[in-house]
Amino acid sequence: MTKKETFTALVVEREDKNLVAELKQLKIEDLPDEDVLIKVDYSTLNYKEGLGFANRNKIFRIFPMVPGVDLAGTVVESKSEDFKPGDQVILNGWSVGERYWGGYAQMARIKSDFLIPLPKGMDTKKAMALGTAGYTAMLQVMALEEAGITNDKGPIIVTGASGGVGSNAVAILAGLGYEVTALTRSREASIHDYLKKIGARDIACGDEWTQKPAPLESQKWAGAVDTVGSVVLSRLLSEMKYGGCVAACGLAGGFELNATVMPFILRGVSLKGVDSVSCPTPQRIAAWDRLVTDISHEALDHINKIIPLKEVPRYAGEILQGNITGHIVVDVNA
């Protein structure tokens, strides 16, 4: 692409107190002045973008903004010694799509410090079929492993299981031989069937998950992947087996935690926070290397739906309403 040619980007502008998203034709010179220019193949749509397009939680911090917390593509130009033209790369997090322009464009300029090489054995489409959701799920699985939660210790529960992170966590854990229970607020048979197709052995959706637990409930779970927070996380902690671990990454149900120290001091339970945004590069690379093999192509086919760039605002509204099952890949060239 020459500097005179244009490319398509989804640009969000602020007009008074409202946000307006529009497909625009931009030139290379319109991009931020960073050290690596990338031809983007795919991005993703996550709950965070849903909040952003709804003008909630101040997700978009600068305007105009090109959202998209993920991207995968090929380096076109580079001022960095770490990357050269032709290299395929992945971007997740680092406040890209919030404080820096992100992946909802056919071309992007990104700080080289934010990039990692595409792992061998993975293409850019699979990389974004995983995206931040799959990468975060892998970090949570690694956190459970580091806490000594092996697949012979007992059942693992995954909350928000029909969402992007939850779906990937179910599939990864099942593939590693864990007995997985998927927690979902949905009672629809189609959602339960979906969760079983990607690896869940059992489904939990009882009313108790909306109710405050006792300080110590019956011991049920060897480990948990939590994407919800709030009362769900409180119940998880109270129901953990002795020595169990909860790996927590999300707050879709709220950021407050009304719990006691009882599970920690009487059952040796641990709570490990998992951050995907500013995770150190070596840990990122380790997670992505495992994703080459630790999730099945069949599961990814069930989990993912591909949409064109122009459909992002509509699907962002749907994801915020809880109407999306699985994970959304954005084909920026469709």
pLDDT in tens, 128-183: 999 999 999 999 999 999 999 999 999 999 999 999 999 999 999 999 999 999 99
Whether residue 57 has pLDDT greater than 90: no
For residue 2, name the pLDDT band (cuts at 50, 70, 90).
low
Count of positions (residues) in the chain: 334
Strands 107-110 and 115-117, by their bridges, are unpaired
Residue type, 303: I
28 three-class SS = helix
For residue 1, name the pLDDT band (cuts at 50, 70, 90).
low
Whether residue 191 has pLDDT greater than 80: yes
pLDDT in tens, 62-74: 999 999 999 999 9
Whether residue 211 has pLDDT greater than 90: yes
User: How does DSSP assign 226-270, residue by residue?
Assistant: ESSBHHHHHHHHHHEEEEEEEEE---TTBS-----SHHHHHS--E
Q: Which of 121, 113, 108 is closest to 68 using CA atoms?
A: 108
Residue type, 206: G
Q: For the purposes of burial, counting CB atoms within 10 Å of the CB of 182, is it exposed (0-12), middle (13-18) or buried (19 or more)?
A: buried
Mean pLDDT in residue range 230-254:
96
Buried (b) or exposed (e) across 45-58, using 16+ Cβ within 10 A? bbbbbbbbbeeeee
Place of tokens 């749509």: 45
Alpha-carbon distance values, 163 to 69, 126, 185, 327 (Å): 17, 18, 11, 7
Whether residue 8 has pLDDT greater than 90: yes
Residues pairing with 24 in the sheet: 9
DSSP for residue 334: -
Q: Which of 128, 132, 172, 137 is closest to 47 using CA atoms?
A: 132
For residue 288, give both structure tokens. 């992505």
Distance of CA 111 to the CA centre of its chain: 21
pLDDT at 32: 96
Whether residue 3 has pLDDT greater than 60: no
Domains of the chain (ranges, CATH numbers): 6-118+300-331 (3.90.180.10), 132-273 (3.40.50.720)
What percent of the chain stands above pLDDT 70? 99
- pTM recorded for the entire structure: 0.94
pLDDT at 244: 98
